[in-house]
């Protein structure tokens, strides 16, 4: 028997030759089996790798990113830590059109609680923060300063959605917004919102979490600046004093004139506080925005939850214009200042007219200081 003779160490020469042949055959067969097994295992590994590679590729293909539907459609909005006020409930119940539009948008675009449309380059969202006022207070300067921040994206022009174009609908408004990435803030600026009676309810009906910024300025100086702007467009305008007083003899102020009415800040603020808590509003000093832009910008960035990126290194004071400009950005040949319409010289107003106007505003200013908890030093 061959296997016996192979084991026995004292096998004969013939037996040894048979053993060698058997061993060679055995080793050759063993190698063939081992080779087939290696090929089989290699094929399994390759197929497994291809399967997971293709699966990962499909998952990486671009697709719309949609969040959950806004809670606005399903719950009555309540102020943080407080029961909903009658005005808030009224805004919720009266905003059926808004809720229907939100529902339409959710079915059409499956938007998030911020009602966003997403693509590879970011999402169009409703603004998380709005500069709502005031005209000639420094709103344009504030917006331009904010746009330096890499996490702020803002509409360049004033949308006027909540005062003039509300009937155009939410889709129209959202499409005006720039696309933002995760962690960026969408903003817009329309100073007339602050004095528009319907604006607080309309903003609230979309999001009660919107942050509101109001740039305020000495109402007397603001009124003169407002008049100066109008005069540049209508040279035949009556004098400031003729427009400011109903009766020049008695000194009765004409509050129907918008240049005067805008400066009654306390009255307009009461309207906003019916819908938003004071914590949702930030009041920026228009005067400090000129004398200490970096300081005011620090407050604004903190309010928006942003890192303090915009600092004093970004500003220099333009002696000709009389207000700060942005230093020359990298790659630019000149610094950025606001347009020619900003910083224009004011007409000479009689001192007694300004004195009467200041007396008129004093009680409103004091009430405004009390409401905001901040003394702006106008008196």
Domain ranges (residues) in the chain: 71-372
- Residues 26, 27, 30, 32, CA torsion sign: negative
Q: Measured between alpha carbons, how far apart are the two ends of the chain, in Å? A: 123
Measured between alpha carbons, how far is 128 from 45 in angstroms, rounded to an integer? 51
Find the mean pLDDT for residues 77-96.
54
Question: 216, 137 in Cβ contact below 8 A?
Answer: yes
Strand duo 315-318 + 281-285: pairing? unpaired
Is residue 199 a contact partner of residue 163, using CB atoms and an 8 Å limit? yes
- CB count, 10 Å around CB of 13? 7
pLDDT of res. 168: 98
pLDDT, averaged across the chain:
80
- What is residue 106's predicted lDDT score, i.e. its pLDDT? 47
Whether residue 76 is predicted with pLDDT greater than 70 in this model: the reply is no
Bridge partners (DSSP) listed for residue 310: none
pLDDT reported for residue 58:
44
Range from 198-212, 229-243, 316-330 carrying the lowest mean pLDDT: 316-330
Q: Exposed/middle/buried for 251, CB within 10 Å: 0-12, 13-18, 19+?
A: middle
Average confidence (pLDDT) over 38-60:
61
Q: Is the pLDDT score of 40 beyond 80? A: no
Q: How confident is the model at residue 111 (pLDDT cuts 50, 70, 90)?
A: very low
Q: pLDDT grade, residue 277 (50/70/90)?
A: very high
- Distance from C-alpha of 256 to C-alpha of 250, rounded to nearest angstrom: 17
pLDDT band at 336 (very low <50, low <70, confident <90, very high): confident
Give, as one character, the DSSP assignment of residue 276. S
Tell me the H-state helices in the chain: 2-7, 13-60, 86-94, 96-109, 139-146, 170-175, 199-206, 219-233, 240-244, 258-261, 265-273, 286-291, 293-303, 351-372
69, 125, 136, 189: the active-site residue: 136
Tell me, what's the pLDDT at 269? 98
pLDDT value at 19 more than 80: no
* Largest CA-CA distance found in the chain, in angstroms, rounded: 145
pLDDT exceeds 60 at position 244: yes
pLDDT, average across residues 33-39: 65
Does position 162 have pLDDT exceeding 90, yes or no? yes
323-326 and 252-253: which strand pairing? unpaired
- In this predicted structure, the answer to whether residue 27 has a pLDDT above a threshold of 80 is no
- The CATH code of the domain at 71-372 is 3.40.50.300
pLDDT score recorded for residue 332 = 59
Lowest mean pLDDT among 66-75, 245-254, 357-366: 66-75
Give the residue ranges of the annotated binding site for 3'-phosphoadenylyl sulfate: 136-140, 217, 225, 342-346
Q: What angle do CA 337, 341, 342 make, to 5 degrees?
A: 50
Q: Are 180 and 197 in contact (CB under 8 A)?
A: no
Token reading at 293: 């832009």
HEC string for 281-347:
EEEEEHHHHHHCHHHHHHHHHHHCCCCCCCCHHHEEEECCCCEEEECCCCCCCCCECCCCCCCCCCC
Neighbours of 367 (CB within 10 A): 16
Residues with Cβ within 8 Å of 288's Cβ and at least 6 positions away in sequence, in order, are: 295, 296
Residue 63's pLDDT is: 37
| pLDDT higher than 70, residue 377 | yes
Q: How far is CA 379 from the centre of its chain?
A: 34
Helices 139-146, 293-303: inter-axial angle, 10-degree rounding: 70
Confidence of residue 251 (pLDDT cuts 50, 70, 90): confident
If you average pLDDT over residues 165-193, what whole number do you get? Answer: 97
- pLDDT(294) > 80: yes
- Binding positions are 136-140, 217, 225, 342-346
233 among known catalytic residues: no
Q: Considering just the CA atoms, what is the radius of gyration of the chain in Å?
A: 36
């Amino acid at each position: 028997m061959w296997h016996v003779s192979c084991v026995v160490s004292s096998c004969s020469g013939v037996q040894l030759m048979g053993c060698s042949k058997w061993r060679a055959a055995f080793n050759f067969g063993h190698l063939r089996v081992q080779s087939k097994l290696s090929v089989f295992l290699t094929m399994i590994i390759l197929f497994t790798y291809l399967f997971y590679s293709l699966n990962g590729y499909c998952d990486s293909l671009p697709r719309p990113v949609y969040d959950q539907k806004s809670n606005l459609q399903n719950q009555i909005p309540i102020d943080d830590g407080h029961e909903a006020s009658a005005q808030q409930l009224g805004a919720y119940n009266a905003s059926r059109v808004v809720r229907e539009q939100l529902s339409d948008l959710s079915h059409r675009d499956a938007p998030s609680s911020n009602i966003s449309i997403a693509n590879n380059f970011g999402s169009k969202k409703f603004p998380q923060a709005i500069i709502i006022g005031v005209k000639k207070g420094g709103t344009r300067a504030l917006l331009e300063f904010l746009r330096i921040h890499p996490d702020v994206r803002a509409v360049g022009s004033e949308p006027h959605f909540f005062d003039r174009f509300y009937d155009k609908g939410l889709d129209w408004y959202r499409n005006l917004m720039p696309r933002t990435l995760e962690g960026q803030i969408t903003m817009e600026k329309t100073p007339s919102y602050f004095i528009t009676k319907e604006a607080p309810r309309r903003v609230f009906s979309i999001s009660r979490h919107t942050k509101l910024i109001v740039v305020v300025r000495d109402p007397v100086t603001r009124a003169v600046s407002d008049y100066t702007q109008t005069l540049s467009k209508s040279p035949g305008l009556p004098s400031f004093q003729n427009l400011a007083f109903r009766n020049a003899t008695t000194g009765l102020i004409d509050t129907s004139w918008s240049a005067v009415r805008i400066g009654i800040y306390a009255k307009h603020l009461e309207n906003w506080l019916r819908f938003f808590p004071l914590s949702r509003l930030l009041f920026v000093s228009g005067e400090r925005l000129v004398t200490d832009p970096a300081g005011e910008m620090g407050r604004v960035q903190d309010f928006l939850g942003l890192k303090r990126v915009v600092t004093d290194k970004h500003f220099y004071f333009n002696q000709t214009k009389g207000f700060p400009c942005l230093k020359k950005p990298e790659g630019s040949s000149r610094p950025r200042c606001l347009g020619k319409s900003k910083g224009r010289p004011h007409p000479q107003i009689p001192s007694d007219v300004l004195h009467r106007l200041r007396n008129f505003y004093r009680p409103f200013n004091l009430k405004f200081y009390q409401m905001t908890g901040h003394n702006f030093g106008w008196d």
